């Protein structure tokens, strides 16, 4: 009987504390023969991993090709390690370092391998070649592929492996025999692999047939679905090919791994984890891109090892970078799933198992560089939004009468830079209106560059605590946000260019939750510069924190991000338990929000109809005209606002020089329903409804016709900042609109995005 078969049942009988003290061999070969330490033994295992394996800790293997042959390898290795630790796992990067097969490679060693420039891809067939060369004195680095990683992980005794995507049977593989070594490895090496299927341009049905022949279990995580579950298509959640079997939880996956071991079945297991829904590319879209890329590759003669790189490059171009974003997201999702499976496996073997305190408290990735924690992290208002360097280019015509800059040529201009960004502008306006720096805090992202340092210094000079502004250390991927505005001779905006890619960073939900728990805000302002995923995460965290949530749409395109989906259903809840409390769009952003909500089915739910039907508002056009204007009614603005109110109970639509239109859903006890002076502003009343009272709609004319405009940039941000400041101090929205407009007027007369003359605290 082999050593491995003897030790497995013995480990289940010996208490974990005693197992920890046992001097178990560092690793066991597939034949059960012990491998002692040192290069001569053929395998080096780091001290941490060696101890973790002996203690049956939740170790997760990581391949190294993703780092040695990827554009972000230097920072990605550290990021992935920290991600796994944050979920209770112990990461074990596997690679060939100087000709030595190594389990537990450090991120710094990965950096050294990349900088050496001689790392090669290592499959099973290549392991002996590189190790042999090392023995002969020629030391070569190697990044292990899935098959190479599985082989070395099994030799070390690691049971779970998280990666991105599997190799497979190439198109036409039945003739060319172009079949990935990953598939045969899964047929003979007992390691559980968590991946998002195989690359979508491969022959997925034949890949699954091949794996069946190899005796490899293939099971796809249901991920909330109950029927018609496909094997994932890597970038797409579905592939059109049904999965051989379904797994619902990480504990079920762990049970399969344990049963495979106890039965001493040596083939591997593949757990397919679909790409997160918010990052998945619709199957028809990715199929069309794949067909075009594959056809071009054939026509241009990109075959063999050159085929995959070409196809991947074209998919990046054809999908507008969606494939790259999906790829990054699915790897993280798979590593989290693998860590959870490894933890559940440890719990199955020992029900008392809990991840150590150091594992539970490990930071999520990427690692932000925070300023020192302030003595008072609490706040009344937390603005989670963009901070950026603003470049304002004001056209200075050479002759009177000229107002517009000329296209396709250089124009004279007065150019100045300042610190801006929607979130920053809102926070500064709220801070100055509040008159107390501890009341307002900003949560944002900067890069590890010169502009990032400039922003930190500026925040401190403005009195904003930078404690919640995180610095991302990956300088190859992230740049501090910049906004360039080109204004004509009248200081009206002609064109703007914004580099806000840093806010597409996939923020860690646990980190955001900790930020909210630390700051404990009454009001949370979220701006549309965040990705749709981050907006959903922030709204969910804010709802859990029981704070009122405000959305600033930012732009027409970004305004649509609020109306995301979760498992195909609307992500927002309706009044009176609505996820949102207030939004401040302009008319263009309002129309975009309305259309997005309509297209995504927000107006088709029973909950939405339950609110709208409470008012019986058929034939309300003349009332809209009376309460607003015929022009606004013809533009559909009042109707759009009413349709959105169930999801955003208060909407303040900015009308530029025509003022602001406010609409609010009122509860049945709201005093405005019965006040004589408010009667003209009650658009509709609900009859005998337990939670809905009526709709308040009021048109506020502009407080001043501003002729001496210095800059329009940031006026809307100032409006919202002053408005939220008043709300946080206990005022109602209808009492704050004119005060907020006055703040916007000050901003119009300031060269900055926020007026420095708005520093007097609001009262009441």
pLDDT tens, position by position, 128-171: 999 999 999 999 999 999 999 999 999 999 999 999 989 888 77
Average pLDDT over residues 477-494: 86
Would the pLDDT of 9 be above 50? no
Would the pLDDT of 15 be above 90? no
**Percentage of residues in the chain with pLDDT exceeding 70?**
86
Q: Are residues 236 and 322 in the same domain?
A: yes
Instruction: Tell me how many domains the chain contains.
Output: 2
**Residue that terminates a domain, selected from 349, 380, 411:** 349
Task: Say which of 81, 82, 199, 441 is annotated catalytic.
Answer: 199
Q: Are residues 306 and 242 in the same domain?
A: yes
Q: Are residues 84 and 167 in the same domain?
A: no
C-alpha–C-alpha distance, residues 737 and 721, integer Å: 11
Higher local confidence (pLDDT), 453 or 124: 124
Residue 752 — very low, low, confident or very high, per pLDDT cuts 50/70/90? low
pLDDT of residue 352: 82
Higher local confidence (pLDDT), 352 or 218: 218
Q: Are residues 149 and 164 in the same domain?
A: no
User: Can 199 be counted among the known catalytic residues?
Assistant: yes
Q: Are residues 213 and 83 in the same domain?
A: no
pLDDT tens, position by position, 555-574: 999 999 999 888 788 999 99
Residue 368 — very low, low, confident or very high, per pLDDT cuts 50/70/90? very low
The Cα-based distances of 530 to 187, 538, 555 in angstroms read: 43, 9, 12
Residue 316 is assigned to a structural domain of this protein: yes
Phi–psi pair at 222, nearest 5 degrees: -65, -35
Q: Are residues 178 and 324 in the same domain?
A: yes
Q: Are residues 175 and 151 in the same domain?
A: no
Least confident of 262-271, 589-598, 741-750: 741-750
Phi-psi region of 32 (alpha: psi -120 to 50; beta: other; left: phi over 0): left
Average pLDDT over residues 245-251: 94
Q: Are residues 103 and 137 in the same domain?
A: yes
Average pLDDT over residues 528-540: 91
Would the pLDDT of 345 be above 60? yes
Would the pLDDT of 751 be above 60? no
**Average pLDDT score, the chain:** 84
Residue 720 — very low, low, confident or very high, per pLDDT cuts 50/70/90? very high
Would the pLDDT of 326 be above 80? yes
Residue 438 is assigned to a structural domain of this protein: no
What CATH number did the domain enclosing 320 receive?
A: 3.40.1790.10
Residue 717 is assigned to a structural domain of this protein: no
Q: Are residues 87 and 8 in the same domain?
A: yes
User: Can 462 be counted among the known catalytic residues?
Assistant: no
Residue 746 — very low, low, confident or very high, per pLDDT cuts 50/70/90? confident
Average pLDDT over residues 386-405: 86
How many other C-beta atoms can be found within 10 angstroms of the C-beta atom of residue 216?
22
Q: Are residues 207 and 126 in the same domain?
A: no
Residue 225 is assigned to a structural domain of this protein: yes
pLDDT tens, position by position, 175-184: 777 788 899 9
Least confident of 224-238, 308-322, 338-352, 489-503: 308-322
Higher local confidence (pLDDT), 364 or 455: 455
Residue 425 — very low, low, confident or very high, per pLDDT cuts 50/70/90? very high
Q: Are residues 196 and 312 in the same domain?
A: yes
Residue 542 is assigned to a structural domain of this protein: no
Interhelix angle for 322-349 vs 73-86, to 10°? 40
Residue 172 is assigned to a structural domain of this protein: yes
**Residue that terminates a domain, selected from 325, 349, 373:** 349
**Residue that terminates a domain, selected from 158, 188, 219:** 158
pLDDT of residue 475: 62
Q: Would you state the structure tokens that stand for residue 21, as one six-digit string?
A: 């003290």
pLDDT of residue 473: 63
pLDDT of residue 372: 34
Range of the domain at 314: 160-349
pLDDT tens, position by position, 81-123: 988 998 899 999 999 999 999 999 998 899 889 888 889 999 9
Residue 338 is assigned to a structural domain of this protein: yes
Residue 16 is assigned to a structural domain of this protein: yes
Phi-psi region of 484 (alpha: psi -120 to 50; beta: other; left: phi over 0): beta
pLDDT tens, position by position, 657-686: 899 999 999 999 999 999 999 999 999 999
Task: Say which of 63, 261, 278, 552 is annotated catalytic.
Answer: 63
- DSSP string covering 262-314, please? HTT--S-EEEE-PPPTTTPPPHHHHHHHHHHHHHHHHHHT--GGGHHHHHHHH
Higher local confidence (pLDDT), 467 or 250: 250
Helix ranges restricted to H, 361-439? 422-434
Ranked by mean pLDDT, the top range of 65-74, 289-298, 533-542, 625-634 is 625-634
3-class SS of residue 348: helix
DSSP state of 149: H
DSSP state of 406: P
pLDDT of residue 710: 59
288 contacts: CB under 8 Å, gap ≥ 6: none
Would the pLDDT of 25 be above 70? no
Q: Are residues 124 and 247 in the same domain?
A: no
Least confident of 27-31, 221-225, 652-656, 704-708: 27-31
Ranked by mean pLDDT, the top range of 42-46, 416-420, 597-601 is 597-601
Interhelix angle for 422-434 vs 733-748, to 10°? 110
- DSSP string covering 525-580, please? EEETTS-HHHHHHHHHHHHHTT-EEEEE--SHHHHGGGS-EETTEESS--TTS-S-
């Amino acid at each position: 009987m082999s050593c491995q078969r003897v030790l497995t049942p013995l480990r289940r009988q010996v208490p974990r504390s005693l197992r920890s003290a046992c001097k178990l061999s560092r690793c066991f070969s597939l034949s059960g023969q012990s491998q002692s330490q040192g290069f001569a033994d053929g395998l080096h295992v780091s001290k941490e991993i060696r101890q973790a394996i002996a203690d049956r800790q939740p170790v997760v293997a990581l391949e190294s090709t993703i780092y040695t042959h990827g554009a972000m390898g230097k920072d990605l290795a550290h990021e992935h390690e920290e991600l796994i630790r944050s979920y209770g796992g112990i990461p074990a990067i596997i690679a060939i370092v100087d000709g030595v097969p190594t389990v537990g490679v450090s991120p710094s060693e990965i950096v050294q391998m990349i900088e050496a420039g001689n790392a090669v891809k290592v499959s099973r067939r290549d392991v002996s070649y590189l190790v042999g060369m090392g023995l002969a004195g020629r030391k070569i680095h190697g990044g292990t592929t899935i098959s190479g990683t599985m082989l070395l992980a099994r030799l070390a005794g690691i049971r779970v492996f998280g990666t991105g995507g599997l190799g497979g049977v190439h198109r036409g593989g039945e003739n060319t025999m172009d079949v990935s070594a990953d598939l045969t490895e899964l047929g003979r090496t007992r390691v559980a692999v968590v991946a998002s299927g195989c690359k979508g341009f491969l022959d997925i049905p034949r890949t699954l047939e091949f794996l069946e022949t190899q005796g490899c279990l293939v099971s796809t995580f249901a991920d909330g679905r109950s029927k018609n579950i496909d094997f994932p298509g890597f970038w797409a959640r579905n592939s059109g090919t049904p999965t051989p079997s379904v797994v619902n939880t990480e504990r079920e996956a762990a049970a399969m791994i344990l049963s495979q071991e106890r039965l001493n079945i040596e083939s591997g297991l593949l757990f397919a984890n679909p790409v997160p829904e918010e990052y998945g590319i619709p199957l028809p879209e990715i199929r069309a891109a794949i067909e075009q890329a594959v056809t071009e590759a054939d026509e241009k003669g990109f075959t063999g090892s050159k085929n995959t790189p070409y196809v991947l490059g074209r998919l990046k171009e054809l999908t507008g970078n969606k494939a790259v974003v999906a790829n990054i997201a699915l790897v993280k999702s798979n590593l989290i799933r693998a860590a959870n499976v490894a933890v559940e496996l440890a719990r199955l073997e020992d029900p008392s198992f809990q991840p150590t305190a150091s594992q539970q408290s490990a930071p999520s990735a990427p690692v932000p560089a925070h300023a020192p924690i302030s003595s008072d992290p609490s706040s009344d208002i937390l603005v989670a939004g963009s901070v950026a360097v603003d470049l304002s280019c004001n056209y200075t015509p050479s002759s009177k009468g000229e107002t517009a800059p000329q296209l396709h040529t250089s124009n004279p201009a007065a150019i100045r830079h300042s610190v801006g960004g929607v979130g920053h502008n809102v926070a500064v306006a709220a801070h100055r209106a509040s008159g107390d720096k501890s009341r307002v805090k900003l949560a944002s992202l900067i890069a590890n560059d010169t502009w990032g340092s400039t922003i930190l210094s500026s925040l401190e000079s403005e009195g904003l605590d930078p404690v919640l502004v995180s610095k991302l250390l990956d300088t190859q991927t992230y740049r501090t946000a910049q906004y360039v505005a080109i204004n004509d001779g009248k200081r009206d905006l002609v064109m703007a260019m914004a580099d806000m890619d840093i806010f597409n960073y996939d923020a860690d939900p646990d980190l955001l939750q900790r930020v909210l728990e630390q700051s404990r805000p009454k009001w949370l302002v979220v701006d549309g510069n965040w990705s749709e995923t981050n907006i959903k995460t922030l709204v969910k965290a804010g709802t859990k924190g029981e704070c009122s949530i405000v959305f600033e749409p930012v732009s027409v395109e970004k305004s649509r991000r609020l109306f995301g989906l979760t498992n195909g259903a609307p992500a927002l809840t309706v009044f009176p338990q609505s996820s949102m409390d207030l939004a401040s769009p302009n008319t263009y952003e309002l129309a975009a929000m309305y259309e997005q909500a309509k297209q995504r089915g927000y107006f088709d739910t029973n909950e939405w109809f339950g609110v709208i039907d409470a008012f019986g508002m058929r034939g309300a056009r003349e009332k809209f005209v009376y309460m607003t204007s015929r022009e606004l009614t013809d533009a559909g603005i009042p109707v759009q606002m009413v349709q959105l109110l169930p999801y955003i109970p208060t909407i303040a639509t900015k009308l530029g020089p025509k003022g602001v239109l406010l609409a609010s859903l009122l509860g049945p006890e709201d005093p405005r329903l019965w006040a004589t002076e408010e009667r003209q502003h009650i658009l509709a009343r609900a009859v005998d409804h337990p939670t809905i009272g009526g709709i308040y709609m009021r048109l506020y004319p502009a407080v001043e016709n501003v002729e001496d405009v210095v800059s329009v940039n940031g006026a809307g941000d100032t409006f919202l900042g002053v408005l939220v400041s008043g709300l946080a101090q206990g005022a109602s929205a209808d009492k704050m609109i004119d005060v907020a407009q006055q703040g916007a007027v000050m901003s119009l007369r300031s060269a900055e995005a926020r007026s420095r003359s708005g520093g007097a605290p609001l009262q009441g």
